[in-house]
Amino acid sequence: GLKRWIWGRVLDGDRAATFHLAVARDRSLPDEYHLVEADDSGIREIAVPAPRTSWNRHTLLGLAYPYELRLADDLRLHSPRVIDSAPFYLRVVYRADLAGRECSALCEVAYPHRLRWPILGRMIEMSIDKTALRGPR
């Protein structure tokens, strides 16, 4: 039931943040998002208003990803660089501003409904079958 799903992690010396944002295919359902931070004082979920973003960038295969994603007042991802792309999935490195410090974020974006596309689904099945036939190396 997901239209798209983005998740990622930001690491900065003594602080880390991980998040996910799931967008339902049914527009009447709200987005689901969580932000978790960890530092020397512990691990905690951060209550934030809805993340602010626009899905305004696209891969050659039409997968949208945000140029900027504001997850909290002190966490903003921007300036994306796609490092891997497939018909249903991509990996993106963002520059991140975390509590006034610049660092990097590794994020992944998936479009699960594309796995149901007849040709794409069959190609993935064939890839899995070949992997299983090879066995362990």
Surface-to-core class of residue 127, CB atoms within 10 Å of its CB (0-12 exposed, 13-18 middle, 19+ buried): exposed
pTM over the 0.85 mark: no
pLDDT tens-digit series, residues 80-101: 999 999 888 899 999 999 888 9
- Tell me if 102 sits within 8 A of 96, measured CB to CB: yes
Which of 109, 96, 110, 108 is closest to 16 using CA atoms? 96
pLDDT tens-digit series, residues 103-133: 999 999 998 877 776 666 666 666 555 555 5
pLDDT value, residue 122: 66
Helix (H) or strand (E) holding 63: none
pLDDT tens-digit series, residues 13-40: 888 999 999 999 898 999 999 999 999 9
